[in-house]
Copies of this chain bind each other. A is one copy, B any other.
Amino acid sequence: MTRITAVDVYDLRFPTSLSADGSDAMNKDADYSAAYVVLRTDAPDVEGFGFTFTIGRGNDICVLAAQQRAEPLIGRSVEELVGDLGGIYRELKSDSQLRWLGPEKGVEHLALAAVMNALWDLAARQAGKPLWRLLADMSPEQLVDVADLQYLSDVLTRDEAIAILAELEPTRAARIAELDASGYPCYTTSAGWLGYSDDKLRRLCQEAMDAGYRHVKLKVGASLEDDIRRCRIAREVIGWDANLMIDANQVWDVPEAIEWVQALAGFKPLWIEEPTSPDDVLGHAAIRRAVAPIGVATGEHGMNRVLFKQLFQAGAIDFCQLDSARLASINEILAVYLMAKKFDVPVCPHAGGVGLCELVQHLSVFDYVAVSGSLENRVTEYVDHLHEHFVDPCIVENGAYVLPSQPGYSAEIYETTLAEYAFPDGTYWRQARQENPVVTTQRTSG
């Protein structure tokens, strides 16, 4: 029997704010970071890797929360844990004292996501399969057993969930073969960060088209005049057959969102992303009614499955952008995919950041293979940042994710990266402090 002997959690931070990568109307100085969990065992080469994603300060808080969340794993049998991923999920999430601090939201939920992501990675490695394949090899009943359906029975019962999965089970293999040939379609956000110059925007839009993408996303919401100019540049480069999406990162109140989006309607955006508070189900529904046929997209800050349930119930969104490191891993994500299927809302997962692309490729493949069976209106985010730090990085060719083939959840980060970007004592951060004592992510730019 193999046992968990230790859980190491690393505070990794990358100095992305220096290049304005990741800049938008809400987040001007993001230092992409990860609270990175490593499950150690008493067997050589049996490990699990997972993380949650943050943007700098406070990553240390998530690290501590993940250490605390993972405590009950120490000494437990790996076979037992990976044999009952629903059970360990329910045990960890039910800690009533930690639950009080959410419940099921904020730092404690991010920490649970990091720990459960590592357990799912461990399970896939133990099975010798990429995570999407581990899931695609599970029966409808097995999948529903691990899915978190608590608080959802008014829209999705266990029987309905099983029926959804059973419908596509006989044809899973055909869709796997299809994705194996063509990959899963993605779009790029790399072109449109708010801090980039017009020239850089023009060049990156052209590069995206040249690389085979059919979608380009721009950050908006700081200045309407700038947004109009930048949308015009994007349309000049990508034409009107390709898709343009816009993303406001929550900066508007509801009436302001409606007015601003209507002012950009001439550029025919496919969707407006995060027009207002991510918590505002009824606000998103009102915006959607007002700006149609422009779609409404949100979900990267969608805190839990109960929020998504209501977004679906209220007809508030056209695109569901769940986040693989904010929802509590596969257990909760499965529930959101199942509801999305029932309400016929396409899921286009949020990615970028640190390693989110590595995770979401597994989710999108599984969705097509086993849940939605559709690629219509589905396109998964891709951002070409920081993949070099991953042992099994995602591969994008011709605007599509290539099917992951290595065992696990593609979450493992190189030891050399840990040594360099661990905060505050990795070699990068030591060097940065020597050069400039105030260059740390502790309030670099208030």
Q: Which residues does A use to contact B, with CB under 8 Å?
A: 26-31, 54-58, 60-62, 64-65, 68, 71-72, 95-110, 150-154, 250, 253-256, 276-283, 286, 301, 303-304, 306-307, 309-310, 313-314, 441-443, 446
Known: A106-B109, A281-B310, A310-B282. A101 touches B58 (CB 8 A): yes
Quick check: B441 and A151 within 8 Å, CB to CB?
no
Quick check: B151 and A55 within 8 Å, CB to CB?
no
Quick check: B310 and A96 within 8 Å, CB to CB?
no
- In the complex, which residue of chain B has the Cβ closest to the Cβ of A279? B306
- Measured between alpha carbons, how far is A155 from B314 in the docked complex, in Å? 18
- Measured between alpha carbons, how far is A313 from B284 in the docked complex, in Å? 13
- In the complex, which residue of chain B has the Cβ closest to the Cβ of A61? B65
Give the number of copies in the complex: 2
- In the complex, which residue of chain B has the Cβ closest to the Cβ of A252? B151
**Separation in Å of the A58 CB from the closest CB of chain B?**
5
Known: A55-B97, A97-B31. A278 touches B64 (CB 8 A): no
Chain B positions within 8 Å of A107 at CB level: 61, 65, 101, 106-108
- Measured between alpha carbons, how far is A221 from B441 in the docked complex, in Å? 46
Chain B positions within 8 Å of A283 at CB level: 151, 154, 306, 310
Chain B positions within 8 Å of A276 at CB level: 151
Chain B positions within 8 Å of A100 at CB level: 27, 30, 54-56, 58
Known: A106-B101, A151-B276, A255-B154. A61 touches B61 (CB 8 A): yes
- Measured between alpha carbons, how far is A110 from B150 in the docked complex, in Å? 25
- Measured between alpha carbons, how far is A281 from B154 in the docked complex, in Å? 13
Closest 3 CB pairs of A and B: A106-B106, A107-B107, A56-B97
7 extra interface residue pairs, beta carbon distance < 8 Å, beyond A97-B441, A281-B281:
A54-B101, A55-B96, A72-B446, A101-B106, A103-B277, A105-B303, A282-B309
Chain B positions within 8 Å of A150 at CB level: 253
Chain B positions within 8 Å of A152 at CB level: 253
**Separation in Å of the A82 CB from the closest CB of chain B?**
21
Chain B positions within 8 Å of A153 at CB level: 253-256
Quick check: A97 and B154 within 8 Å, CB to CB?
no
14 contacts between A and B (CB under 8 A): A27-B100, A28-B96, A29-B96, A31-B97, A54-B97, A55-B100, A56-B97, A57-B98, A101-B106, A105-B279, A106-B107, A153-B255, A280-B306, A282-B314
- Measured between alpha carbons, how far is A31 from B97 in the docked complex, in Å? 8
